[in-house]
Chain A
């Protein structure tokens, strides 16, 4: 069909051929953001090895931009150290997708937040595991 596209070619590519769809069984961290009222829910799963994100997968309920953003976030996250991943901004994600329409930039925010939430979850789990055990006499 003719007419200017709603989205860039990169966004459409990630929408039609998303990378890293699915769950990770026993993930090191999970981040869930968004809510159905706004129309976007993202769930990001990560595994962490030697301080780096070794694997990332996503499940998303949302529009084309939301799905493409999730796909791109998982691609960008893989291989990064936790510090690098925390620093990943929504602008970088949007830029990697050759831009998003202004009304859809909030989807890239969701991607940034989902990754941060997954890392936060991982750090909580690590802290909990390292807490000294209560020894009962």
Chain B
């Protein structure tokens, strides 16, 4: 059975060019970049070439890139690093209610350490209000951290406005740009970001390597100790192959960005409109005009998400859900809850996140599979009795 992978926001397959670049390193550039002999120097050269490519993808200087073991670590380094470096100046942090757990859990830890955190609410469409953010800034505020694009609903925050406000008020601004990289243009100049977290495995690079952009002048305490690597911010022998792979992935993502964003937007919009036409009682989650081009989060009323995913999987289709059952938590998606989506609708939410390999055929096939899957689950549901559609057919037009 042909498989259709629609979960690119969770991770992406490593692309062929990246694999080639990485295998060349594993096979032929085996030294430690810190060694002074030829083996080391060859490895150092590759690391710095990779660094330059990652920097170019976000409009940064190479020396502003700190490589980490992934995006979560980059977020933690940014938040904990800035907090601890500045705790004599202040102890207040502003973030949003819909950040990734890498940001939220770091903030919660800081609260236990005596920091005060404001979690900004979002609108029903998932957007932070820059004016509300500005109102929360106090003399003790040392960090603002708001993600560029949300992983669950794809909504893009007004980070350029937020960056301007942060700069005007003299507060460091970190943005989790992990989902934005490779999907929409992202520039550290335009966003006035002091820090930005990035991850390789979201852009067809390998898992296990990420980066933190750190603007010159931003004070940052490292989280681990043991050497001078990465300008003292993240000691440890560099993941040479991973860094090279990350660099290659960024290079390709930058080159293909516009064309790919346009292509994915068309496919995503077609998926959305076909679902809306052919299945009743569906709701789009997230500001329609302000989303990543590849992301679609919809709620299917009267049914639960895992049930839909199991039905999709029977036909080889992989997607994700905001339901409690699929996350292993006891409550549904914190992102949808923050947007005011009622629990039952959050439980019935599905996220489709498209990528390079997806075609129109994949999209059309997915809709055809969804129709009977949703119908069958609705006919089993205590909340659906046919009167909602007048036909008792499970809510589709066939």
Contact = CB atoms under 8 A, between A and B. Distances in A.
A46 interface: no
Interface in A50-83: 58-67
A32 B382 contact: yes
Nearest to A64: B310
Nearest to B302: A61
B382 A39 contact: no
B250 to A, nearest CB: 29
Interface residues of B, number: 30
A91 interface: no
A103 B343 CA distance: 20
A1 B344 contact: no
Given A60-B380, A66-B304, A36 B343 contact: yes
Given A36-B347, A38-B324, A38-B330, A21 B3 contact: no
A59 B382 contact: yes
A125 interface: no
A43 B310 CA distance: 22
A63 B306 contact: yes
A61 B382 contact: yes
Nearest to A2: B3
Interface residues of A, number: 29
Contacts of A64: 306-307, 310
Interface string B374-389: 0000011111000000
Contacts of A99: none
Interface in A80-118: 103-104
A63 B304 contact: yes
Contact of A39 (B302, B325, B379): B325
A103 B328 contact: yes
A44 B6 CA distance: 35
A74 to B, nearest CB: 12
A21 B332 CA distance: 26
Nearest to B348: A61
Interface stretch (B15-23, B24-32, B36-44, B312-320): B312-320
Q: Which of A15, A37, A41 has the most CB of B within 10 A?
A: A37
Contacts of A16: 314
Interface in A24-42: 32, 35-42
Contacts of B3: 1
A60 B384 CA distance: 10
A72 to B, nearest CB: 14
Contact of A63 (B1, B323, B381): B323
A43 B343 CA distance: 18
Contact of B382 (A12, A60, A103): A60
Given A1-B318, A16-B314, A37-B331, A63 B325 contact: yes
Interface string B334-361: 0000000011100100000000000000
Interface of B: 1, 3, 302-307, 310, 313-314, 316, 318, 323-326, 328, 330-332, 342-344, 347, 379-383
14 contacts: A1-B3, A1-B316, A32-B382, A36-B342, A37-B331, A39-B323, A39-B347, A41-B383, A43-B382, A61-B344, A62-B307, A64-B310, A66-B304, A67-B307
Given A1-B3, A1-B313, A39-B332, 16 more contacts: A6-B310, A32-B382, A36-B343, A36-B344, A38-B324, A40-B304, A40-B325, A41-B383, A60-B381, A61-B347, A62-B304, A62-B307, A63-B306, A64-B306, A66-B304, A103-B328
